[in-house]
């Protein structure tokens, strides 16, 4: 077997409605979710023993990494469990509300699944067992999600294109802590952004709301300062993805987005331009 490669796109929450915790101890959600063109790259090749090397981020490489959790899920259904070596190039900011780890897990499912002959519905079933976002990251596109994030709707069409600029403030927010804060401060609804403020291609799915935004601000008040500053510089509404702290806004095209990128404060942990993607994690040829 020669080396195989997969791209793992970031996930952007366009809308996220949260409901109070239920008997499972989790919060049911309903959200509008989009794959964007910021990709981690995962390469797999045969090896004498399992190994994971990560470039671009200081992350654990042992069993707790979602790449190995994906491989373990596949091996649990197999009698043959060939060892492999992974190299992961991180381009999606870590702990930023962009599902980078879940997308890496989806890429690992595809890669190792292609090695042991598992694909399609079997991969989707295993994805749900690994993490709530992994199933979406495996399928990608523009979709409504439900349940605890694991229920995936049909891919939605976009009428026309748009571009986003994503800015990551210089702090991290833990997802569990943000959800706990949402409970503590009274289960607030987020600010609604709709009408002409969102691109025509997704306007019918609006207004866009992230209920976790007030909770995130209650933990890290500087987040709201970042949003206000970006709205002033970009002259348009700014939204938060997932549990944060990534902030983003819509732009008409790459040229306009490039100008917006130059206006991001230099203190940002990361910032980039991305476009919508119609697929999630996917295998690519060496030249792809």
Cβ atoms of 150 and 262 within 8 Å: the answer is no
DSSP string, 182-215: HHHTT-PPPPEE-GGGS-GGGGGG--EEBTTHHH
Burial class (CB in 10 A: 0-12, 13-18, 19+), 266: exposed
Active site residue 133: yes
Other CB atoms within 10 A of residue 126 CB: 22
Cβ atoms of 247 and 169 within 8 Å: the answer is yes
Instruction: Quote the strand ranges of the chain, DSSP E.
Output: 4-18, 29-46, 51-55, 84-89, 142-146, 151-152, 163-168, 192-193, 208-209, 239-240, 247-251, 270-274, 276-277, 282-284
Ramachandran class of 242: left when φ > 0, alpha when ψ lies in -120 to 50, beta otherwise: left
Please tell me which residue in 11, 40, 69, 104 is annotated as part of the active site: 11
Cβ-Cβ contacts under 8 Å for 135 (sequence gap 6 or more): 124, 127, 128, 150, 152
Q: How far apart are CA 153 and CA 173, in angstroms?
A: 27
**CB environment 211-248: b (16+ within 10 A), e (fewer):** bbbbbbbbbbeebeebbebbeebbeebbbbbbbbbbbb
Please tell me which residue in 40, 104, 133, 270 is annotated as part of the active site: 133
Active site residue 11: yes
Catalytic positions are 11, 133
């Amino acid at each position: 077997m020669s080396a195989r490669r997969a791209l793992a796109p970031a996930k952007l929450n366009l809308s996220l409605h949260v409901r109070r915790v239920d008997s499972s101890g989790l919060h049911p959600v309903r959200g509008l979710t989009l794959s964007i063109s910021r990709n981690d790259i995962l390469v797999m090749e045969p090896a004498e023993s399992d190994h994971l090397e990560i470039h671009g981020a200081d992350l654990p490489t042992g069993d707790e990494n979602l790449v190995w959790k994906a491989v373990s899920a596949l091996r649990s259904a197999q009698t043959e469990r060939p060892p492999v070596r992974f190299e992961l190039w991180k381009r999606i900011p870590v702990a930023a509300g962009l599902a980078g780890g879940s997308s890496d897990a989806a890429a690992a499912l595809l890669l190792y699944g292609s090695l042991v002959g598992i694909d399609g519905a079997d991969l989707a079933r295993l994805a749900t067992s690994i993490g709530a976002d992994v199933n979406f990251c495996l399928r990608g596109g523009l979709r409504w999600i439900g349940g605890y994030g694991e229920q995936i709707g049909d891919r939605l069409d976009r009428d026309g294109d748009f571009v986003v600029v994503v800015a990551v403030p210089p702090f991290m927010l833990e997802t569990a802590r943000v959800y706990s804060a949402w409970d503590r401060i009274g289960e607030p609804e987020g600010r609604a952004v709709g009408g002409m403020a969102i691109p025509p291609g997704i306007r019918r799915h609006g207004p866009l709301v992230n209920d976790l935004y007030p909770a995130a601000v209650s933990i890290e008040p500087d987040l709201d300062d970042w949003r206000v500053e970006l709205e002033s510089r970009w002259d348009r509404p700014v939204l938060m993805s997932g549990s944060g702290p990534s902030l983003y806004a819509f732009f008409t095209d790459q040229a306009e987005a490039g100008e917006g990128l130059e206006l991001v404060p230099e203190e940002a942990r990361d910032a980039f331009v991305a476009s919508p993607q119609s697929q999630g994690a996917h295998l690519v040829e060496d030249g792809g």
